[in-house]
C-alpha cells in the first residue's frame, strides 16, 4: 500500500505544483502583466539554449502571448491542478472517494487521447488540411504591418506579439507563408507598403533571404544589410531573393526529424497514466478491504469517504 501511495504522490505532486504555477501565471497575466516579462524572458532563453532548433523563440514576445491567452492558461492550470489535487490528497488522506474521482478523471483523459490518436492516424490528410487552414487564417487575421524600415540600416519590429512571432519564424526558420509563399497574395489586412521601395509589396520583409552569417544573430539584431536583395524580393518577388519553403513544411520536417522522441514521449505519457490509474484503483480496493471486517460485524455497507 505504501508503494502505491508513494507513486501517486510522485506522479501527482508535480501536477499539483505545475497546475498551480500555470494558474498563478494566468492570474498575473490578467492582473499584473508586467510581472511576467522577466519570467517569459527566462523561459525563452532557457528553452532556446536547450533546443537549438527552437532558436526562433528568441524573436517571440512570449510575455505578450501569455497575456493574450491568460484565460486559456488559467483553465489549463485549473484542470491540471484538479488532477494533481485528487491524486495527491487522495493518496495522503487515503480517501476512496478522491481516488475514485481521480481514476475516472485520468481514465477519461486517456480515452480521449487514444480516440484523438486513432482519429488522427485514420484521417490524417483532412486533419492536416484543417491545421493548415487554421494557421493561415491566424496569419491573415493577425498580420497587419510586420517588419518595416526605419532609418537604414535599422528595422522597426512589430509591437503585436503574433506579428512578431510570424516574422521571427519566417526569418529564422528560413520559410515563407503557411502552405506556400503565395499565401501572401491572400493577405487582406497586411499593409504592404514599404516607402522608398514599393507601395505594393509581393512579400513581407521577413520572407526575404538573409545571409548565412546573419542567421546566427538574435532576431531583433537583424539589420537591413543582412538581407541579400530586399528591393527585388519585396517589389517583384524575384527568384533567389526570398524563402521558397513553406513554414508548415519546416514544421513537418522538424516533427519527422524528432518523431522518435515524440512517439516515445506519447508512449511514456500513456504508461504513466495507466500506472496512475492502476495505483489509484489498487489503493482504493485495499482501503475498502481494510474496512470490510467492521462492516461484517455491524452489518453496514462500507462508506466511501
The pLDDT tens digits for 216-227 are 677 777 888 888
Tell me what pLDDT residue 62 has: 54
Coil, helix or strand at residue 186: helix
Contact 88, 7 (CB under 8 A): no
Name the grid cell of 70: 491568460
Is 51's pLDDT higher than 60? no
Least Cα distance to 197 among 166, 152, 165 occurs for: 152
Strand spans (E) along 246-291: none
Least confident segment among 141-145, 223-227, 266-270, 289-293: 289-293
Share of the chain above pLDDT 70, in %: 80
Instruction: Read off the pLDDT band of 182 (50, 70, 90).
Output: very high
The residue extents of the domains of the chain are: 2-122+275-298, 140-253
| Mean pLDDT of the 176-191 span | 91
**Lowest mean pLDDT across 44-48, 106-110, 132-136, 281-285:** 44-48
**Overall average pLDDT of the 269-278 stretch:** 90
Q: Reply yes or no on whether the pLDDT at 178 is more than 90.
A: yes
Mean pLDDT value across the chain: 80
HEC assignment per residue over 200-257: CCCCCHHHECECCHHHHCCHHHCCHHHECCHHHHHHHCCCCCECCCCHHHHHHHHHHH
Task: State the pTM of this model.
Answer: 0.69
Amino acid at each position: 500500500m505504501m508503494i502505491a501511495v508513494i507513486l501517486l504522490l510522485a506522479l501527482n505532486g508535480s501536477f499539483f505544483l505545475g497546475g498551480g504555477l500555470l494558474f498563478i501565471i494566468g492570474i498575473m497575466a490578467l492582473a499584473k502583466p508586467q510581472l511576467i516579462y522577466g519570467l517569459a524572458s527566462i523561459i525563452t532563453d532557457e528553452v532556446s539554449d536547450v533546443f537549438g532548433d527552437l532558436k526562433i523563440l528568441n524573436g517571440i514576445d512570449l510575455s505578450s502571448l501569455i497575456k493574450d491567452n491568460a484565460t486559456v492558461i488559467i483553465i489549463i492550470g485549473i484542470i491540471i491542478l484538479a488532477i494533481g489535487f485528487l491524486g495527491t490528497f487522495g493518496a495522503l488522506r487515503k480517501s476512496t472517494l478522491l481516488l475514485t474521482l481521480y481514476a475516472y478523471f485520468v481514465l477519461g483523459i486517456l480515452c480521449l487521447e487514444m480516440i484523438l490518436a486513432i482519429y488522427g492516424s485514420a484521417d490524417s490528410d483532412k486533419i492536416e488540411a484543417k491545421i493548415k487552414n487554421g494557421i493561415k487564417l491566424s496569419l491573415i487575421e493577425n498580420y497587419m504591418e510586420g517588419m518595416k524600415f526605419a532609418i537604414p540600416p535599422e528595422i522597426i519590429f512589430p509591437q503585436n506579439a503574433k506579428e512578431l512571432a510570424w516574422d521571427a519564424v519566417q526569418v529564422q526558420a528560413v520559410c515563407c507563408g503557411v502552405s506556400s509563399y503565395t499565401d501572401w497574395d491572400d493577405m487582406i489586412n497586411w499593409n504592404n507598403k514599404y516607402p522608398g521601395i514599393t507601395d505594393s509589396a509581393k512579400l513581407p520583409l521577413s520572407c526575404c533571404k538573409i545571409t548565412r552569417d546573419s542567421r546566427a544573430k538574435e532576431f531583433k539584431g537583424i539589420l537591413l544589410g543582412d538581407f541579400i536583395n530586399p528591393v527585388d524580393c519585396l517589389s517583384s518577388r524575384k527568384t533567389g531573393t526570398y524563402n521558397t519553403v513553406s513554414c508548415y513544411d519546416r514544421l513537418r520536417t522538424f516533427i519527422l526529424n524528432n518523431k522518435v522522441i515524440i512517439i516515445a514521449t506519447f508512449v511514456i505519457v500513456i504508461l504513466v497514466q495507466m500506472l496512475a490509474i492502476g495505483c489509484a484503483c489498487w489503493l482504493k480496493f485495499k482501503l475498502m478491504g481494510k474496512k470490510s471486517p467492521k462492516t461484517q460485524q455491524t452489518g453496514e455497507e462500507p462508506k466511501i469517504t
